[in-house]
Each structure stands twice: as C-alpha cells, then as structure tokens.
Amino acid sequence: MTRFRFLLVVILVAGLAACSNSSSSGSTPETYRDPGPWAAGVTTLTLADRQVEVWYPVNPDDTAGLEPYSYFIRDALSDTLESLLPDDINPPFVSDAYREVPASSDGPFPLVLFAHGASSYRNQSAFLTPHLASWGFVVASVDYLERGLSSFLGEAPDPPMDDVALSRMVVTLLASENEQTGGLLEGVVSTDQIAITGHSAGGGTSVRFGGEPDVVTFIPLSAGVSPEGMTELPDKPSLWLTGKTDGIVDPQRTIDAFEQASAPTRLVLIDGMGHLGPSDICTIGEGGGGVIAIALEANLPIPPNLQRLGTDGCGEDDVIQEGWPVIRHFVTSQLRWAFGFDEEPLGMSQDVQELLPEATFDYDETL
C-alpha cells in the first residue's frame, strides 16, 4: 500500500469513527445528570377535552438559532381563574425543548408516560421531561383534569375520567400519531413496551398503571403506599424517589413502598428536598413558589390545604434545583436499563454521590 493510500484509509476510518460517535451512539457517560446525545423537541396534542404535551428526540443541529420553549403559568388555569389574576402576572418556565422541531430519524423511540400531581398540570416537571427525550425517549404528559388545579378550585371536568383509562388513551393516541403519514411523530414512537413515572398523586397513577402488561417499569416520585397498607404494587421493576423533608407524603410511606415492592426495586432519598422538589413549581415566578404563591400575592382566596400542597418544598432552605441532577440521573438510568439500552443500570449505587455533589442522598436497592 502506498503512503498516499495508507493516509486515505486512515482519514476514512477516522471519519467513520467520528460518525459512529454522533448523536445516536456517543461514548458511555459516567452519569445521566447531563443532557444526552439528542436535543428535545416538544409538541402539543389534543385528547378529548384535554391536551397532551409530548417531548421527543431531535437532531441538535436542527435547533441551531432557535429559542427554547417556555410555558406560562396562566396556561394551567381555567378561563375563570385566569381572569382573576392581574394581566401583568404570567411568569414563564424556560425549558430545554424546542417547539415543533422535526424529530430525529434515529427512532422509533420507546414511550414514557409522565403523570402530574394534584392541583397541578401537564408541564409541571419540564426540568425532567426534555432531559429524558435527550436520552432517547418520547415522553407524553396529559392533563389529568380530575386532579388538576382547576378541579381543586371548583371547576372539575364532567364527566370525569379514570386515570388508568386516561393513561391508556394516551398510549393509543401516540400509537396513532406514529402511523400518521407526514405527521411530526410519524415513525418516532414505539408503544410495544412503555414505562410510566409520576409525581405525588401521579406517583399513584404510575403504581396503578404499572401493572399493565406492556409496562416495563414504574417510577413514583414523592409518593408511597397508604398507611393502611392496602395498596397492591405491580410485580414490575420500580424506582422510588422522594425528599427527606416531604411534608405532604411522609417519606416513611415511600420507604414502606420500597420494602413491599417486588425485586428489583430501588430507593433514593434526597436530603433537604420537600414535596415539590421533583417539579418546576417552586422555581416559577420572581420569588419562586409557583402558581399558589402567585395567587396569594394577587390576594386570591386559596384554601389552606391547597396552600400547603402548593408550597411544600419551596422554602429558602429547601433543596430544589440542586436536587434535579440527582433526579435526572436516577430516572434516566432506570429507564434505559428497563428498556434494555443498558445491560446493567449505570450509576445505580451510593458511589455515584461524588458525581452528583449538588445534593446529598441515600440509596438502597433490593435485587
């Protein structure tokens, strides 16, 4: 082989190596705390009387020069409640997703459902959902209006929907979108196997829906079993994550759930984090505290129980954004292992603490 041909082969091999380390197959990270090889797109679908937010993987180059998507707190309110707020109150949450960007051609990607908590809304954990999309998942979050903010303030949907039935409707909707010729999500979503995660009351939804035959794992956040011990847990892999200072769902209930769950099951307890830690809510608004703090500032009549629910974990001394890298890592690791992307779960141990220094936590597992 001549020197020129040898150099040409070296250049071609180097080029192929560079391609193999592109967005779809990068080197193995130490943790999943940081965004993955894809960027995140976001779109909104309609399902009956409510909406579904969908995050999906996109080519990072396709987001160049674009502004990330922001959602606004007024969007979570009914027209009646929205009209009660002063016109100048509408704080945004800036996410890491880009609206209506073409999806990556590397799919299809497995579907993960996200279930929001009580007195909340579908976008409530946008610190997490685009992150999951960046690691190769399509994430769908529907408005569970029956427990949404408007319902807590007297404007419930009629007729109400069962949360498990509604979750199944979301899966059916995404399967349909996957087959929609020329649609944004055509060929993007795999619904052969799915996972579900949820916060607070949404954690309860993840438990109830987790028993469905196509679910590979369920991940309750800030949730647990009832004190009476009547909750039947699915015989599926699970990850339980909560804050040690949760004043709404006693952390012992989460520990009890972990101890009752079928193996393999994992537990993460984050020091100093309250109930709303696994959400954006505490960070919204000029002084934080979310929609409840905003409503109180506007002198709207908010029931005491809703005030407590909507502010737990939002104090100056609470761990909020510091806990997000921990949550992102463990949830992503559980999902990638459950779907078979990783033969063994990455960084599922107490040893990963040194790579996640922003917040301290305790880790346990039963395998």
Phi, psi of 231 (to 5 degrees): -75, 130
Give the count of beta carbons closer than 10 Å to the beta carbon of residue 253. Answer: 20
- Identify the pLDDT of residue 22: 34
List 196's β-bridge partners, or say none. 113, 218
Peptide bond into 108 cis (omega under 30): yes
- Per-residue pLDDT of 59-99, as tens digits, reads 999 999 999 999 987 777 767 667 777 777 778 899 999 99
- Dist. CA 129–CA 152, nearest whole Å: 24
CATH topology of domain 30-366: Rossmann fold (3.40.50)
Angle at CA of residue 311, ends 308 and 313, nearest 5°: 115
Q: At what angle do helices 163-178 and 201-209 cross, to 10 degrees?
A: 70
Q: What is the pLDDT of residues 155-194, one digit of tens each?
A: 778 889 999 999 999 999 999 999 999 999 999 999 999 9
- Quote the pLDDT of residue 153: 66
Q: Is the pLDDT of residue 21 over 80?
A: no
Least confident of 21-30, 137-146, 285-294, 306-315: 21-30
Please name which of 204, 238, 214, 222 lies closest in space to residue 335, comparing C-alpha atoms. Answer: 238
pLDDT at 26: 57
Q: Give me the residue spans of the domains in the chain.
A: 30-366
Angle (nearest 5°) at CA 349 between 347 and 350: 120
Q: Please tell me the predicted confidence (pLDDT) of residue 6.
A: 35
Long-range contacts of 346-349 (CB under 8 A, 24+ apart): 346/28, 346/29, 346/31, 346/32, 347/30, 347/31, 347/32, 348/266
Q: Pick from 168, 153, 211, 147: which is nearest to 48 by CA?
A: 168
Instruction: Give, in order, the Cα–Cα distances in Å from 7 to each of 12, 13, 20, 139.
Output: 9, 10, 20, 45
**pTM of structure:** 0.90
The answer, yes or no, to whether residue 19 has pLDDT greater than 50, is no
pLDDT confidence tier of residue 300, bands split at 50, 70 and 90: confident
Residue 261 binned pLDDT confidence (cut-offs 50, 70, 90): very high
